[in-house]
Amino acid sequence: MPRSNPKPSRRLSPRYRTEREGQFLERKSCFDRRGQTGRPLPWKKMAADISETLVAFANADGGELIVGLDDDGTPSEVPGTENQIARLAEVPGTRVTPPLPVVPVRFEIGGRLRRSSVRP
């Protein structure tokens, strides 16, 4: 599958930070918040979480995944190099069979965020 080229950066709608998570919206932090300071999750864990969520959306009525927002809507960004972040955008085409029709979009809010939309 060809490399993903996320759309150019733009502002993230406030609804993604305030709307309740549910069947059509999921937020994924890239940090383990169990300790006093958040540590970045391992890349394999992030990729697995992204894959699982997008497959669930694809098996239902579609949905939107925001990577880099905590469950409460607080921006936590996506850590890593630009190359690593680009590889996360490729997860639906490289870790899921058959590949999912996902539209990745990049946003900036005091850090880097990704939104991926899946349509059934």
**Position 8 confidence tier, pLDDT thresholds 50, 70, 90:** very low
68-79: pLDDT as tens digits: 888 898 888 788
- In whole angstroms, give the CA distance from residue 105 to residue 89: 9
> The pTM is what?
0.79
Domains and CATH numbers, the chain: 23-118 (3.30.950.30)
**Position 119 confidence tier, pLDDT thresholds 50, 70, 90:** low
List phi, psi (to 5°) of 69.
Answer: -120, 135
**Average pLDDT for residues 57-86, to the nearest whole number?**
86
Per the CB < 8 A criterion, the answer to whether 14 and 109 are in contact is: no
pLDDT: which is higher, 19 or 102? 19
